[in-house]
Amino acid sequence: MSGEIEILVDADACPVKEEIYRVAGRHGLRVVLVANSYMRVPRGGGVELVVVGDGLDAADDWISEHAGPRTIVVTADIPLASRCAAAGAPVLGPNGRSLGADTIGAVLATRNLMDSLRSAGEITGGPKPFSPADRSRFLSSLHQAVVRTMNARTGQ
C-alpha cells in the first residue's frame, strides 16, 4: 500500500457511500469500494471499485489484508472491524460508531452473545433502523477520523 491515506469500504450494503465520497473529495483521499459484485461508482474523484470473488469472506479478507494505520475502514461487520482494528486501522460503522482497538472487544463480545442467543432460539430483535441522525453522526465521525489520521501521519 502507498503512503497515502485511503478509505476502504465494505460496500455491498453500505448506506453511507455518498457521504464517504463527499468527505474523501473534500480531503483529496482515495476511496476503495470492495464488493462481491459490480456496482456503479462515481467517475473520477479517486473512487475505485474492487470486485472480489463470491466466497463468503472474500470482501472481508481483501479489506483486512489492506487495512493499516493509513487506512480508514467503513463497515458494519463486527468481526471484520476487529481484524482491521488489530491491523491498526481506524474503523467506523455506518452509524458513525468508532470500532477501534479500544472499543472493539466489548462490541465483539456483545455481538457474539447476541448471536448465541439467536442460535438458541431467543428473539433478540434486530438493529435499529438507519436514521438521519446516524447519517449525520457518520459524517462527523468520518471527518474526525480523517483529521486524526492526517495528524498522525504528520506527527501533530
pLDDT for 99-118, tens place per residue?
A: 866 666 665 565 556 666 66
55-113: pLDDT as tens digits: 889 999 999 999 999 999 999 998 899 999 999 999 999 999 988 666 666 655 655 56
What's the one-letter identity of residue 1? M
- State residue 45's pLDDT score: 74
Contact in structure between 74 and 142 (CB atoms under 8 Å): yes
Given this model, what pLDDT does residue 2 score? 47
Kindly state the cell numbers that stand for 28.
483529496
CB atoms inside a 10 Å sphere around CB 62: 19
Q: Which CATH class is domain 6-154?
A: alpha beta
Instruction: Give Cβ neighbours of residue 28 (< 8 Å, ≥ 6 apart).
Output: 46
Cell numbers for 133? 441522525
Q: Where are the domains of the chain?
A: 6-154
